[in-house]
Structure 1
Amino acid sequence: MKALLHRHRELCARAVDPLEIAAGLEAYGITDRTAARFRHRDVFSLAEEMFARVPRGADTPPRPEPPADPPARGAWIVRALLPGAVCVATLAGLRLTHGRMRLVLTAVGLVALVLAVRAALARGPLSARRRGPASAAPATGVRLWTCWLLAYAALGDGLLAAVAAGGPDTLPLGTADSAWPVDTAVLAALTLSCAPAAWSAELLASGARRRLTASRGLGEFATAVRPLLLGTIALYLAALAGLHTLSAAVLGEPAAYARTLTLGALLLLARLLAAHGFRRAPALVLGVAAAAEASALSVLFGSRLPGCAFLGAPVQALLDGWGPGSVPVLVCGVGALALLAHASRRLTRASAHAPAAARGDGR
């Protein structure tokens, strides 16, 4: 016990209650089984003894009351609205222009959209928590795979169908009825959903903070946060479904709810994990999803080589049975379920929502 107190003395001295120490111990990998070696039933009981045994000065802050919801920050709300506004403005311009001007507008709109999404994710509830230089590589991977998945959402189904039919013979013209159709409704819905995603992330963070100060133990906290996490995801998906219905109606395109909702769930879960400091799993899952979509296209192209028709047989069977949209639905659906299982374990831990002082450097 003395060695444990010495190792975590700074954590115990700064803590304002035992739960903060328990969150820090949890972040260091100490479990109930470890606590049993110190003759305690769980980590929280161990934290209570550590809290009682570390001396404190008169300036030790009192146990905080459950915080009220933070006031709405106009800056991050405006930034969250930027991607949708830029996407809508670009799509409106594409409907009104032709020829070279349309190509210029497409290029400018894509650059503006990337900058708008980056601004929306740089600050506010969706901003990724940094955990040192090692997080730079996963962050770069998340951005790269996210761009691929969004590009495939707009262009991939049309390209997959064209390749299966022996094409493509033309470049995408930006319309849903061309030989290589472009799905702009899903792109508009996903960019417009940045605002509901930010609000959902803020709802999760504020709710978890309230439960962190009100809970008596780590198990009680996890039990309280799990329905909050699932409810947050459900609210976002409901908002995304409504935005996709509106976008499809305005743009005159068929609504593809399964494809849009699975991709939206995948991206939201990846961002929630990154916002709480867990970047490796989102980078891995998004990378696998992007590689799977790229592989579906590659095997169809490869099947055109002499004697290689068997390569495209699985993808062709999937297209014949369920259509080109089945590929992203299957890929993103499996990825979203994997991240949901990971988030249900990681985001229900007190250390994921504890203050930086409680998390320490070992997380």
Structure 2
Amino acid sequence: MSGLGELDRPGAPGGAEAWDERSGEWVATPEGAAASAVSEEAHVPAPSRRPNPRRTGADPVKALMHRHRELCARAVDPLEIAAGLEAHGVTDRTATRFRHRDVFSLAEEMYARAAHDEETAPRPTTPTAIRTHTSWILLTLLPGALCAATVAALRLTHGRAHAIALAVGVLAGVLALRAALARGPLAPTDGTPPGSARHASGSSVWTCWLLAYALLGDGLLDAAVAGGPDGPPGASADSSWTVATAPVLALSLACAPAAWCAHLFAVSARRRLDTSRGLEEFTASARPLLLGAFALFLSALSALLAVCGVVLGESAAYAQTVTLGALLLLARLLTAHGFHHAPAIVLAAAAAAEATALATVFAGRLPGCGFLATPVETAVDAWGPGSIPALACAAAATALLVHATRTLTRASAHAPADRPC
């Protein structure tokens, strides 16, 4: 008879062993084997478990990618990552701590290591190709065309028709200018920071004031210094105070060259961004592009001023009109690249300076307040009424030019529309 017997070994605890007739020995049952294993495990000392040391500093690039994971996830090329890193304060010197010679090299590694889903990721686009669509080209020509039509209507009408033509022309010009600035190279970017809408609306108000002063301000100031005005403004020489239509017409026509200069600067800067190997190298190459586009616009505006002055038989008013055009172009370039705060402040300062000059002349007529008008009257007697807007706009344009050479020559200023600002 083979197999295990039914009787347990005498003295075995709980039937832990039984007699095996085949081998003639007492062997452990399964329950006994389990108990024996548990007993042996109880006597074996448990290995000491030390906590795994944290791995720190092994991969600094990975830590940087985790900090900027959203930027790496949405980037369509390494240049976008480089621009985003620079916007967050990462410089070429900082990149050396991540074992890279510059930010562009660091961005290339981050882009290569980022987990991009080829099916869901947006198709790579080339922000360099800011394509010149017929729509925005026509829109930039529209303000000048409407302003020219308005000036012609004012020269041909009188009385009530004159007032109606003026009101309709001003309204149409404002709407056309707003449409021209809403599309194309002069259009503000998307993804603007909080509060930018407030700054943009403020810039529009001050821009309208500056343009209105270019139309009416010099004549009003001249008449105020002389003791007037005694009636409403007019285009004729015998009016109480004259309206300067040539500067406003030239500025309206200058919307087209302003858009082309902005387009040229954006495309050229993006190309330099593609070929640059460092932030300092890009800044050094982008600064001449900005200054060249700025000078090209001023040349075009001066030519338009000369033509408008000859055609309308008016003074070209180069000083105040060129400085105003420079101020408006720089403010729009900064706004188009996502910088809204500085243009709003500087435009407000220029408008406040012009308004203060007018206010002091009228306030000087009060008893005992003649000293308030002395500075403005002295400037008008020495250089003419156009010196006040020329000085105000020149100072404001200089401040914006210094600011633009520091901001618009950074790689982050030429990132796509959803860049951080």
TM-score, length of structure 2 as denominator length: 0.80
Q: 2:338 aligns with which of 277, 281, 284?
A: 277
The question of 1:81 aligning with 2:123 is answered: no
Asked if 1 retains the 8 angstrom alpha-carbon contact of 2:234 and 2:243, the reply is: yes
Matches within 5 A, 1:219-298: 219-298=280-359
Q: What one-letter code is carried by the residue in structure 1 that aligns with 2:155?
A: R
The question of 1:97 aligning with 2:157 is answered: yes
Given the superposition, is the C-alpha separation of residues 149 and 200 from structure 1 closer, same or farther in structure 2, using an over 3 Å criterion? Answer: same
Separation in structure 2 between the aligned mates of residue 65 and residue 81 of structure 1, nearest angstrom? 28
Given the superposition, is the C-alpha separation of residues 310 and 237 from structure 1 closer, same or farther in structure 2, using an over 3 Å criterion? Answer: same
Residue in 2 aligned with 1:330? Answer: 391
Asked if 2 retains the 8 angstrom alpha-carbon contact of 1:244 and 1:255, the reply is: yes
The CA deviation at 1:345 is 0.7
Asked if 1 retains the 8 angstrom alpha-carbon contact of 2:92 and 2:279, the reply is: no
Deviating more after overlay: 170-179 vs 302-311: 170-179
Asked if 1 retains the 8 angstrom alpha-carbon contact of 2:130 and 2:263, the reply is: no
Residue in 2 aligned with 1:114? Answer: 174
Asked if 1 retains the 8 angstrom alpha-carbon contact of 2:330 and 2:397, the reply is: yes
Given the superposition, is the C-alpha separation of residues 301 and 106 from structure 1 closer, same or farther in structure 2, using an over 3 Å criterion? Answer: same
Q: 2:221 aligns with which of 143, 160, 166?
A: 160
Q: 2:80 aligns with which of 17, 20, 24?
A: 20
Identity %: 64
The question of 1:339 aligning with 2:383 is answered: no
Secondary structure of 2:241's match?
Answer: coil
Separation in structure 2 between the aligned mates of residue 148 and residue 176 of structure 1, nearest angstrom? 24
Residue in 1 aligned with 2:107? Answer: 47
Separation in structure 2 between the aligned mates of residue 43 and residue 69 of structure 1, nearest angstrom? 23
Separation in structure 2 between the aligned mates of residue 58 and residue 121 of structure 1, nearest angstrom? 35
Given the superposition, is the C-alpha separation of residues 125 and 70 from structure 1 closer, same or farther in structure 2, using an over 3 Å criterion? Answer: closer
The CA deviation at 1:48 is 4.5
Q: 2:241 aligns with which of 158, 180, 191?
A: 180
Separation in structure 2 between the aligned mates of residue 105 and residue 65 of structure 1, nearest angstrom? 46
Secondary structure of 2:353's match?
Answer: helix
Which whole-Å deviations, capped at 9, do the CAs of 1:101-120 have from their partners, x for residues lacking one?
Answer: 10111111111111111111
The CA deviation at 1:255 is 1.7
Which whole-Å deviations, capped at 9, do the CAs of 1:243-292 have from their partners, x for residues lacking one?
Answer: 11111101110121111110000000000111111111110000000000
Separation in structure 2 between the aligned mates of residue 11 and residue 196 of structure 1, nearest angstrom? 35
Q: What one-letter code is carried by the residue in structure 2 that aligns with 1:123?
A: R
Deviating more after overlay: 93-102 vs 31-40: 31-40
The CA deviation at 1:22 is 1.8
Separation in structure 1 between the aligned mates of residue 272 and residue 69 of structure 2, nearest angstrom? 25
Residue in 1 aligned with 2:35? Answer: none
Separation in structure 1 between the aligned mates of residue 130 and residue 180 of structure 2, nearest angstrom? 19
Asked if 1 retains the 8 angstrom alpha-carbon contact of 2:215 and 2:244, the reply is: yes
The CA deviation at 1:13 is 4.1
Given the superposition, is the C-alpha separation of residues 300 and 36 from structure 1 closer, same or farther in structure 2, using an over 3 Å criterion? Answer: farther
Given the superposition, is the C-alpha separation of residues 218 and 177 from structure 1 closer, same or farther in structure 2, using an over 3 Å criterion? Answer: farther
- Which structure dedicates a bigger proportion of its chain to strand? 2
Asked if 2 retains the 8 angstrom alpha-carbon contact of 1:19 and 1:218, the reply is: no
Separation in structure 2 between the aligned mates of residue 143 and residue 94 of structure 1, nearest angstrom? 25
Separation in structure 1 between the aligned mates of residue 125 and residue 117 of structure 2, nearest angstrom? 20
Residue in 1 aligned with 2:364? Answer: 303
Asked if 1 retains the 8 angstrom alpha-carbon contact of 2:150 and 2:166, the reply is: yes
Instruction: Work out which of the two has the higher radius of gyration on C-alpha atoms and give 1 or 2.
Output: 2
The CA deviation at 1:331 is 0.3
Given the superposition, is the C-alpha separation of residues 326 and 263 from structure 1 closer, same or farther in structure 2, using an over 3 Å criterion? Answer: same
Size of the aligned set, in residue pairs, is: 360
The CA deviation at 1:227 is 0.8
Which whole-Å deviations, capped at 9, do the CAs of 1:163-201 have from their partners, x for residues lacking one?
Answer: 111111111012355330111000100001111111111
Residue in 2 aligned with 1:124? Answer: 184
The CA deviation at 1:11 is 2.1
Q: What one-letter code is carried by the residue in structure 1 that aligns with 2:187?
A: S
Deviating more after overlay: 35-44 vs 150-159: 35-44
- Which structure dedicates a bigger proportion of its chain to helix? 1
Gaps of 5+ in 1: none
Q: What one-letter code is carried by the residue in structure 1 that aligns with 2:398?
A: L
The CA deviation at 1:70 is 5.1
Determine which structure has greater relative contact order: mean sequence separation of CA pairs < 8 Å that are 6+ residues apart, divided by chain length: 1
Separation in structure 1 between the aligned mates of residue 363 and residue 398 of structure 2, nearest angstrom? 30
Separation in structure 2 between the aligned mates of residue 18 and residue 68 of structure 1, nearest angstrom? 14
Separation in structure 1 between the aligned mates of residue 354 and residue 115 of structure 2, nearest angstrom? 58
Separation in structure 2 between the aligned mates of residue 42 and residue 261 of structure 1, nearest angstrom? 40
Q: 1:315 aligns with which of 363, 376, 399?
A: 376
Q: What one-letter code is carried by the residue in structure 2 that aligns with 1:193?
A: A
